[in-house]
Amino acid sequence: MDALTSFDSLELPLPVKKALEHSQISIPSPIQAEAIPHAMLGKDVIGLAQTGTGKTLAFCLPLVTLMDRNGDQDDCALILAPTREIAIQVTEVIKHLTLKMTGRWHPVLVIGGVGMQPQIDGLKKKPRFIVATPGRLVDHMRERHTELENVKFLVLDEADRMLDMGFAPQLNEVLRGLPRERQTMLFSATFPKEIEEISQKYLISPVRVEVGPGHSVPIESIKQETRELEEEQKFDTLLDIIAKTEGTMIVFTRTKYRTEKLARNLEKNSISAGRLHGDRSQAQRQNTLRAFKDGEIRILVATDIAARGIDVPEVGHVINYDIPHVPEEYIHRIGRTGRAGATGISISFITPEVREEWRAILKLIDPELYAKTPKVANAVREPKPGQRTRQDGGRDQGHNPRHDRSARGPRRDDRGPRRDDRGPRRDDRRPPPERRPYRDERPQGDAQPRFDSAPQQGHQSEEVDQDSFAQPSLEEQMSRIDQAQRRDRGARGPHRGPPQRGGPRNSSGGGRHGGQGPNRGGPHRRPDNRGPNSARPTQPRPPREDMDDNIGNREGAGGEDKKKEGWNLMGWFKK
């Protein structure tokens, strides 16, 4: 099939033609010229091209044209993107193409980081375009917020990036819920083995379109430079580059922490810098991108989250402040400049600690230069004064010592000499304290103890056979119980409770202090019939004169005088 030379030769809807004219787009890019004709015929397409070659318009234009040509208002197109930024960019392109079209052409954006209720309301209206990230779409599918039985078109944008980010389970779950009769288009910058397996499983006789010298080779309009330096010289070199250049610039770092730190240091030097990484909220990320596109900030410090799908025109420079771990990410990073036929410059900082990573990148983009580059191992950075390294049990190069046994340092047995004057450490450990036997385990009389008093040194205790020791008889056990009860009664004091079964309530001695109960003192037999109590009975004491409240009213006790003289309180207290 002949390649497309101009958009005027296509039978496009009139609003779409006006949208292209408004954007001053008349000549298709190489990937658009090769992929659009096959997609317009309803075939499955696999498109491989470098970053920044116009893959988004290569599938959005056929989707809008085919759905308008079919005329079925229930048909739906599903577009999956790996990141929120790519999904937002695709949504903007669809909105621009369908701006003057009547009907339900407004796309619904389903991404994370924002509330679900507006997305639920939009999905209930049965939109014709759903642009989503796999994770959030799976959440809506599990909650039954959307049904995908009307999806007739499926697009996997940046499929290799989706697999790199670990979206393979969600992607398979989404694909299993789609109808079999559909048109599928897959676009990617690289074509790893996992992409080939997905294409064989879910695409039907796809047409493979690959443009350029190779999808793993950067665009020729990008000039690549390197700076070999030390880690401490990076920031000063970056300041020198910013001072000597003009225009916007994207600086890529490896981690979120380094992104925040570098942005703060730039702001301290009176340089307006925005930051973009995964810990930023969706509103913060959109505001940062909008300010960068509008020219409010000149420098954008970002992680690899910004290496895909950010279409910012006229980005003059891309600085690889940190070399990426994955060689393919280098191609996507420098693809942020030199877009749409423009020229750009890429500068990479090469330190002795990342020589191996840089050779892996050379192997991907320039095999001839890779063969000429000598193989040199990465240098190990000397720790700063007071910094804990991996051997000391600290963090180093992103490793977590709690999860890596080799990063925890020496064990306790190899701690070395003390740092004070307490002398050397003892190699042996203090034995655990000996457990004292319980009261019923102590030897009594000729009875053999149940446990040894102290194990021999270096002797391993074997399992003890309980039947090999003499057990106390039943009478001895009852005697122990009786002694324990008597000790408890002596500790509690005289019994103050109700009368017991030892004798009648009004027996000899009667009243409160008499009787022959167990605690009353008189001779009696115990409930266990083991003889009389050895305690002697107590003699009732004569009542004290002051115990009776009416003693002053009896004859001979002086009560007569009290009645005559009245109640003398002072005299009564003196008595």
Residue 77 burial by Cβ neighbours in a 10 Å radius (0-12, 13-18, 19+): buried
**What is the CB neighbour count within 10 angstroms for residue 398?**
8
pLDDT at residue 562, rounded to an integer: 45
The three-point CA angle 45-312-220 to 5° equals 65
What residues pair up with 248 in beta bridges, in sequence order?
315
Average of per-residue pLDDT across 125-145: 92
* Cβ neighbours for 71, distance < 8 A, ≥ 6 positions apart: none
* Cβ neighbours for 563, distance < 8 A, ≥ 6 positions apart: 553
State how beta strands 108-110 and 129-132 pair. Answer: parallel
Q: Where are the domains of the chain?
A: 7-210, 222-372
Reported pTM? 0.58
- Look at residue 572 and give its three-state secondary structure: helix
Residue 523 burial by Cβ neighbours in a 10 Å radius (0-12, 13-18, 19+): exposed
Measure Cα distances from 137 to 13, 107, 140 in Å.
30, 14, 5
Average of per-residue pLDDT across 495-520: 47
* Cβ neighbours for 500, distance < 8 A, ≥ 6 positions apart: 517, 518, 519
Q: What is the pLDDT confidence band of residue 188, given thresholds at 50, 70 and 90?
A: confident
- Give the residue with greater pLDDT, 420 vs 27: 27
Kindly report, residue by residue over 260-291, the tens digit of the pLDDT.
999 999 999 999 899 988 888 888 888 988 89
Contact predicate 479/496, CB 8 Å: no
The three-point CA angle 519-522-524 to 5° equals 85
Q: Please, what CATH class does the domain formed by 7-210 belong to? A: alpha beta
Q: Same fold for the domain at 7-210 and the one at 222-372?
A: yes
Please give the Cα distance from 205 to 113 (Å, whole number): 37
Helix 84-97 and helix 55-70: axis angle, to 10°? Answer: 50
| Among 13, 7, 15, CA closest to 37 | 7
Check pLDDT > 60 for residue 241.
Answer: yes
Contact predicate 160/188, CB 8 Å: yes
**What is the CB neighbour count within 10 angstroms for residue 1?**
9
Which option is the CATH number for 222-372: 3.20.20.70, 3.40.50.300, 3.30.1960.10, 3.60.10.10? 3.40.50.300
Q: For 179-215, give one letter per residue: b (16+ CB within 10 A) or e.
A: eeebbbbbbbbbbeeebeebbeebbeebbebebbeeb
> Would you say how long the chain is, in residues?
575
Q: What is the pLDDT confidence band of residue 363, given thresholds at 50, 70 and 90?
A: confident
Kindly report, residue by residue over 388-427, the tens digit of the pLDDT.
554 544 444 444 444 444 444 554 445 555 555 555 555 5
H/E segment holding residue 195: helix 193-202
Query: In which region does residue 2 sit, left (phi positive, over 0), alpha (psi from -120 to 50) or beta (all else)?
Result: beta
In this predicted structure, which of 172-176, 198-202, 432-436, 442-446 has the lowest mean pLDDT? 442-446
Q: What is the pLDDT confidence band of residue 65, given thresholds at 50, 70 and 90?
A: very high
Kindly report, residue by residue over 287-300, the tens digit of the pLDDT.
988 898 888 899 99
Check pLDDT > 90 for residue 382.
Answer: no
CA dihedral 61, 63, 68, 72 (to 10 degrees): 180
The three-point CA angle 134-139-140 to 5° equals 100
Residue 289 burial by Cβ neighbours in a 10 Å radius (0-12, 13-18, 19+): buried
Contact predicate 339/311, CB 8 Å: yes
| Among 194, 96, 78, CA closest to 136 | 78
What residues pair up with 273 in beta bridges, in sequence order?
299
CA 297, distance to chain mean position in Å, is 32
pLDDT at residue 420, rounded to an integer: 54
Q: What is the 3-state secondary structure (H, E, C) of 106-138?
A: CCEEECCCCCCHHHHHHHHCCCCEEEECHHHHH
pLDDT at residue 510, rounded to an integer: 45
pLDDT at residue 476, rounded to an integer: 82
